[in-house]
Structure 1
Amino acid sequence: MPDSFRVQMVSGMFDVSLDEKLTDRFAIELPSDDDWRVGLIVGPSGSGKSTIAAKAFGSQVYRGFRWPKRKAIVDAFPASLETREIVRLLISVGLSSPPAWCKPYHVLSTGEQFRADLAMSLASNESRIAFDEYSSVVDRRTAQIGSAALRKSIDAGHIDKQFVAITCHRDVARWLQPDWVADMETGRLTRRRLRRPQLQLQIRGCDHRQWPLFAKHHYLDPRLNPAARAFIATLDDEPVAFAAVLNHFRKHAFRFTRLVTLPSFQGMGIGGALLDGVAAHLVEEEHADVVSISGSHPAVIHHCNASPRWEFRHLKKTGRRATGFFREHPDWKVSLGRAVASFHYRS
């Protein structure tokens, strides 16, 4: 307890009992077994969350990382990690935009920084991570979607760690779906797993004026083919994802040329839902014979491989040479030089 002449003066002026007022005592039960994946310590500021976490988890508490200013975030991860492992971590927490991976931390949005911090915490060799001040600096929608993305990846086995969120925000509980909750306000430990709120995604056709909102988050050419048909997904009338298709050589054959989800909404499967929804519409309503997608992004490939609606057709390890429109417009990017997997939608 701090003591000084001024402290004693204040104590005397206001009759403050220093031993009583400057000492906090609190106790709460935390799980002693390992039969859980996600925990939550929640309570108002000053309730002792960080103190309890430090006592229970010690060096496993993540309190932030000093990101280098002049390095891309992929270069800030431990040198012992392979690039593929870093990409897997970033995607698992919903930071799925390759352009963001190649930027320094300080130029990312607050939501992207939150997810980068999550990925860095999970890069630890510890089998359990307790994340202090979880979601404290992001807007609540980003916190909720990010929490759902994290739980989804943990359930899928992409993150093989126990994770404890330490926060004063109770709204993340239904999205993070913790296996236990330690409530510092009541002093109680409860074992439960709340049902996650349902997202009502709306999909509709749109014009190309929507594309600029998504263009900078796409890892290929930011331009949109003038002949492309566009579709947009919204949540509560807010744009969250964009897709575009082109006729593929014949009238009733389509291929996806763009599929982008805004950073704040990545990791929840929204892009996959848009992909499936547009493909189903083209087959069922417009009688398409073939709907295909070719891509390099791990999230797209994982979705198509895991879905019974998509059939793997082939893998081009060095991509495809420019033909047709792209041969006539060499300034447009093609897949030459990178591995590309192709899938067809099952009608």
Structure 2
Amino acid sequence: MRLAIHHPAPIPATYRAARVASLFNIVDDADFRLELEVDLEARPWQIGLIVGPSGSGKTSAAKTLFGGESKEARWPDAPLIEAIAPGGDFNQVTGALAAVGLGSVPSWLRPFAHLSNGEQFRAGLARLLCERPALAVVDEFTSTIDRRVARIGAGAFAKAWRRGAGQFVGVTCHEDVTDWLQPDWVLDTRRGAFAWRCLRRAPRIQMDIRATNGSFWPAFEPHHYLKLPRMVAANYYVGFVDGAPVAHLCVSTRPGMKEARGCRLVIMPEWQGAGLGLRFLNEVAALWRRGVNRYQKPMPMLFHTSHPGLCEALRRDPLWAQVSASLHGDNRKRSEATFKASALRKGTADRSGSKGGHGGHFRAVQGFRYVE
């Protein structure tokens, strides 16, 4: 089909308009015109991209090709986990949030209006993944957010969108998302061209992993889904991309020095969704399995987590085997009694005892062992 856009703008008979037209040799009118061949029926497709600078006809092209007005989704004043697909499956919602890189669990409990621009962008993509319309057209796609978040988020969304049905069209003035979104076709309004593309791999991200100390943990701690003290006698590992710390993991040994235990896995929010977390964890686990540690002793690694998205990823990965699952915490009253008896034996508490204790929650903790 031939895409033809014409926005008439006759020059009014006023002094200023006439002077500008005369100064810059504009004759007859200031109409906007865009014409090009667009054949969207030539191949099956799932993702398209309309790209070009402001004022080049992107939005008009989207309306002409796909019809309708772009409507901004309304968000209720409710936590994100309740606002997305309220009648849908809980695991589907958490999976969608993790798939687009919004893996920071505290953000799931905040209303949409309380999120940062980058988090709102990813939340909108997660909502699209859950609602799965036959056709979704998103104007100003990635236009208002940090470019790193835009690229990583676009790549994460594209990977998740292709797992299901439906067609998605992004409309943006930023060409840098093209290699990450990997659209089936691109309509470039700057050059007035339409082209089909062959799918390629997203750009590679080179990460350097270093054994460090606990000095990096304060930067990562706010983004961990649990508030816990530092691990005892831990070995710290940090992943760096272009010199910036983006991934964190602690590893300690279990009694008997036969196994290691990984914990405190954190990926900085702007890098979530790029697949760095599991690759980082796998590489550190492989180092310990080969005995590349300060003990110079090969040890398989155990890893426990409550994060639904990470649990699903570990179950899919052939390098890991699930070895345990607890759907709730232990009896808190019994734990408090144990703490109290221990304090009395040591003479560190009076008869009122300690009020501390573990358990009494519904946090599902799942355990995995690195088996490669």
TM-score interval, smaller chain: 0.7 to 0.9
1:219 to 2:229 alignment:
no
Q: 1:50 to 1:309 in 2, by over 3 A?
A: same
Which region of structure 1 is more displaced relative to structure 2, 78-87 or 38-47? 78-87
SS in 2 for 1:21: coil
1:71 to 2:78 alignment:
yes
Q: Residues 11 and 18 of structure 1 are in contact (CA less than 8 Å); yes or no, is this contact kept in structure 2? A: no
SS in 2 for 1:256: strand
For residue 135 of structure 1, the aligned residue among 135, 142, 148 is 142
Q: Render the CA deviation track for 1:241-282: whole Å, top value 9, x for unaligned.
A: 111122222213111221111111111111101110111111
For residue 185 of structure 1, the aligned residue among 190, 194, 203 is 190
Task: Give the Cα–Cα distance (whole angstroms) in 1 for the partners of residues 246 and 60 of structure 2.
Answer: 38
SS in 1 for 2:50: strand
For residue 104 of structure 2, the aligned residue among 91, 97, 112 is 97
**What residue ranges of structure 2 are gaps of 5+ in the alignment?**
1-6, 340-353
1:302 to 2:312 alignment:
yes
Q: Residues 237 and 248 of structure 2 are in contact (CA less than 8 Å); yes or no, is this contact kept in structure 1? A: yes
Task: Give the Cα–Cα distance (whole angstroms) in 2 for the partners of residues 82 and 3 of structure 1.
Answer: 51
Q: Render the CA deviation track for 1:307-343: whole Å, top value 9, x for unaligned.
A: 221112232222567899xx76986876952222221
Shift of 1:168: 0.9
SS in 1 for 2:325: strand
Q: Render the CA deviation track for 1:276-316: whole Å, top value 9, x for unaligned.
A: 01111111024333311122212221222122211122322
1:166 to 2:171 alignment:
yes
1:343 to 2:368 alignment:
yes
Question: Equivalences for 1:1-347 in 2 at 5 Å?
Answer: 8-15=14-21, 20-32=29-41, 35-59=44-68, 63-68=71-76, 70-155=77-162, 157=163, 159-192=164-197, 193-284=199-290, 285=292, 286-319=296-329, 336-347=361-372
Aligned residues: 341
Task: Give the Cα–Cα distance (whole angstroms) in 1 for the partners of residues 254 and 131 of structure 2.
Answer: 45
SS in 1 for 2:29: helix
SS in 1 for 2:67: helix
Q: Residues 90 and 116 of structure 1 are in contact (CA less than 8 Å); yes or no, is this contact kept in structure 2? A: yes
Shift of 1:71: 2.8
Task: Give the Cα–Cα distance (whole angstroms) in 2 for the partners of residues 5 and 166 of structure 1.
Answer: 30
SS in 2 for 1:26: strand
Task: Give the Cα–Cα distance (whole angstroms) in 1 for the partners of residues 141 and 320 of structure 2.
Answer: 36
Which protein has the larger Cα radius of gyration, Structure 1 or Structure 2? 2
SS in 1 for 2:303: strand
State the TM-score, normalized to the length of structure 1: 0.86
Q: Residues 257 and 293 of structure 1 are in contact (CA less than 8 Å); yes or no, is this contact kept in structure 2? A: yes
Shift of 1:103: 1.5
Shift of 1:134: 0.9
Q: Residues 105 and 113 of structure 1 are in contact (CA less than 8 Å); yes or no, is this contact kept in structure 2? A: yes
One-letter identity of the residue aligned with 2:111 = P
Shift of 1:6: 8.0
One-letter identity of the residue aligned with 1:290 = P
Task: Give the Cα–Cα distance (whole angstroms) in 2 for the partners of residues 134 and 331 of structure 1.
Answer: 49
Q: Render the CA deviation track for 1:124-167: whole Å, top value 9, x for unaligned.
A: 45212121111111121111111111122234x2x533221111
SS in 1 for 2:121: helix
Task: Give the Cα–Cα distance (whole angstroms) in 2 for the partners of residues 51 and 292 of structure 1.
Answer: 54
- What percent of counterpart residues are identical? 33
Task: Give the Cα–Cα distance (whole angstroms) in 1 for the partners of residues 298 and 120 of structure 2.
Answer: 41
One-letter identity of the residue aligned with 1:266 = Q
SS in 2 for 1:142: helix
State the TM-score, normalized to the length of structure 2: 0.81
Task: Give the Cα–Cα distance (whole angstroms) in 2 for the partners of residues 118 and 64 of structure 1.
Answer: 13
Q: Residues 95 and 263 of structure 1 are in contact (CA less than 8 Å); yes or no, is this contact kept in structure 2? A: yes
Q: Residues 220 and 333 of structure 1 are in contact (CA less than 8 Å); yes or no, is this contact kept in structure 2? A: no
